[in-house]
Amino acid sequence: MSTTLISGGTVVSANGTLDADVLVAGEKIAAVLAREVTETGEAAPAADRVIDATGKYVLPGGIDVHTHMEMPFGGTFSVDTFETGTRAAAWGGTTTIVDFAVQAKGTSLLATLDKWHSKADGNCAIDYGFHMIVSDVNDQTLKEMDACIGAGVNSFKMFMAYPGVFYATDGEILLAMQQAARSGATVMMHAENGIAIDQLVAQALAAGHTDPVYHGLTRPPELEGEATSRAITLAKVAACPLYIVHLSARQALEAVAQARDTGQNVFAETCPQYLYLSLDDLARPDFEGSKFVASPPLRPKDHQASLWSGLRTNDLSVVSTDHCPFCFKDGKELGRGDFSKIPNGMPGVEHRMDLLHQGVVAGELTLPRWVEVASTTPARMFGLYPRKGVIAAGSDADIVIYDPAARQTLSAASHHMNVDYSAYEGMEITGRVATTLSRGRTVIDNGEYLGAAGHGAFLPRGLNQYLL
């Protein structure tokens, strides 16, 4: 079994920092050796390879629990495959993704799961799991939810948005929540009032308002707040754990905080685009705003401070990307002249760790909180801990060596996602991944990709480890 010693770095965990060397044996972490101890005379352990991490952070690999590779949506597909998307993730220090299998209306959950396994199997550079999108609630679907749980997929996303596509009625949501609750599984909710939104969209188009900014203006934050409250109420009645995905609005955060104060099993994530971008970007001229069309939409800038604060108070406990990239050319352009036809989604899987580190640099988050929201909590929330999300003996050697002083400029010209634009074009960042290990294998090192499609393995997941 080959061994690697990562020496001289600062191990950052959700609990704090430690000057320590990390010994990797094969696919696992064998030991974390505090340097205070080793420097008192004990010899450093022999290893086949030594990585000098002096001046760098040693982090548990990032875990992005919300990605969409090759996702069918709006008559097209998101453009990162499992191969290109997981490679880009590794470049940015993410070593696990949890992607969404998408049930089409009239199809079974288990057939859907098989389909997603065949998309991912043999193609991923890093480990991956699946959530299941439930878009057709019927007796068979409800029965199959248990079989999904048996197959390692125990989180089910539902939509209060997109009538006629993914939308589920309150009654259907309640049934699925009751079914999930019987097994302790989590329902993940896209909480926007799609019925009301569709009326606003029709009114805007009838008035000749076709530009991308109307995507944001027809999905007001109040309708995210209302849907979030309704989802929380339904989850309370069903006694079902609830996880609000891609929370973007202050009103929704207030609803989550209130529920958490009562001790309900309600959790929420936000995404970097809601922390750094705003309605002003959706309003960029010459159809540039289409690059920022995602749902929920980017919000007025003043929501950002609430989201950073929610991350500090743990009412937001995870940051994922909702990576769902569509090219500008031939993708976003489908919606020229009608904002409602612009494919919903933005690229981001490569930049989550860097953008959150920028939050550390700016004093919004502490170093341990960075690791907690980007790795440790996602692992616990989705049943992967302590295999993932921590640097400890016995855990998978998913390790990122991060240079906090490096400078980089985000750009489509240099990113590795399979998409023709960057939502952060020209943004200057402090910090950069130096090395990424996935189960002991070096995937990224010093600006070079050394991974392989097929190294990444499917991760059957346990239940949410935060349930009260």
Residues that bind ligand DUC (CB under 6 A): 68, 190, 245-246, 295, 322, 324, 344-345
For the bound state, the minimum distance from the C-beta of residue 75 to ligand DUC, rounded and expressed in Å, comes to 14
Residue whose CB is less far from ligand DUC, 147 or 165: 165
Residue whose CB is less far from ligand DUC, 131 or 369: 131
For the bound state, the minimum distance from the C-beta of residue 68 to ligand DUC, rounded and expressed in Å, comes to 6
Q: Which residue has the tokens 């420097």?
A: 39
Residue whose CB is less far from ligand DUC, 295 or 375: 295
Residue whose CB is less far from ligand DUC, 189 or 365: 189
Q: Nearest residue to Zn ion, using CB?
A: 190
- Binders in 43-62 for Zn ion, by CB under 5 A: none
For the bound state, the minimum distance from the C-beta of residue 269 to Zn ion, rounded and expressed in Å, comes to 10
Residue whose CB is less far from ligand DUC, 244 or 266: 244
Q: Nearest residue to ligand DUC, using CB?
A: 295
Residue 325: DSSP 8-state:
-
Beta bridge partners of 407: 430
For the bound state, the minimum distance from the C-beta of residue 235 to ligand DUC, rounded and expressed in Å, comes to 18
For the bound state, the minimum distance from the C-beta of residue 296 to Zn ion, rounded and expressed in Å, comes to 8
Q: How many angstroms separate the CA atoms of 282 and 279, rounded?
A: 5
Residue whose CB is less far from ligand DUC, 76 or 366: 76
Residue whose CB is less far from ligand DUC, 94 or 135: 135
Residue 388 binding partner per list Zn ion, ligand DUC, none, with a CB distance cut-off of 5 to 8 Å that depends on partner kind: none
For the bound state, the minimum distance from the C-beta of residue 343 to ligand DUC, rounded and expressed in Å, comes to 9
Q: Cis bond leading into 212, ω under 30°?
A: no
Residue whose CB is less far from ligand DUC, 324 or 417: 324
Residue 291 binding partner per list Zn ion, ligand DUC, none, with a CB distance cut-off of 5 to 8 Å that depends on partner kind: none
Backbone angles phi, psi at 370, to 5 degrees: -55, -50
Return the SS3 of 156. strand
Helices (H), 123-282: 139-150, 170-183, 194-206, 213-217, 221-238, 250-261, 272-276, 279-282
Residue 345 binding partner per list Zn ion, ligand DUC, none, with a CB distance cut-off of 5 to 8 Å that depends on partner kind: ligand DUC
Q: How many angstroms separate the CA atoms of 456 and 450, rounded?
A: 13
Residue 155 tokens, joined: 């989180």
Residue whose CB is less far from Zn ion, 190 or 369: 190
For the bound state, the minimum distance from the C-beta of residue 344 to Zn ion, rounded and expressed in Å, comes to 8
- 299 interacts with Zn ion by CB under 5 A: no
C-alpha distance from residue 255 to each of 176, 224, 238 (Å): 21, 10, 18
Q: By CB under 5 A, name the one of 56, 190, 332, 387 that touches Zn ion.
A: 190
For the bound state, the minimum distance from the C-beta of residue 257 to Zn ion, rounded and expressed in Å, comes to 21
For the bound state, the minimum distance from the C-beta of residue 117 to ligand DUC, rounded and expressed in Å, comes to 20
Residue whose CB is less far from ligand DUC, 68 or 369: 68
Among candidates 117, 70, 128, 36, which has minimal Cα distance to 325?
A: 70
How many residues contact Zn ion, by CB under 5 A? 2
For the bound state, the minimum distance from the C-beta of residue 426 to ligand DUC, rounded and expressed in Å, comes to 25
Residue whose CB is less far from ligand DUC, 348 or 431: 348
Q: How many angstroms separate the CA atoms of 390 and 384, rounded?
A: 10
Return the SS3 of 5. strand
Contact of 410 with 334, CB cutoff 8 Å: no
For the bound state, the minimum distance from the C-beta of residue 322 to Zn ion, rounded and expressed in Å, comes to 4
Q: By CB under 5 A, name the one of 80, 226, 322, 372 that touches Zn ion.
A: 322
Residue 353 binding partner per list Zn ion, ligand DUC, none, with a CB distance cut-off of 5 to 8 Å that depends on partner kind: none
Residue 344 binding partner per list ligand DUC, Zn ion, none, with a CB distance cut-off of 5 to 8 Å that depends on partner kind: ligand DUC
C-alpha distance from residue 62 to each of 58, 130, 228, 319, 366 (Å): 12, 16, 27, 10, 16
Q: How many angstroms separate the CA atoms of 172 and 154, rounded?
A: 18
Close Cβ partners of 441 (under 8 Å, ≥ 6 residues apart): 27, 450, 451, 455
DSSP string, 373-440: IIIIHHHHHTT-TTTSSS--TTSB--EEEEEEEEEEE--TTT--SSSS--TTTT-EEEEEEEEEEETT
What track of x and - describes contact with Zn ion for positions 113 through 152 (by CB under 5 A)?
----------------------------------------
Sequence letter at residue 440: G
Polymer length in residues for the chain:
468
Kindly list the residues in this chain that would bind Zn ion in the complex (CB under 5 A): 190, 322
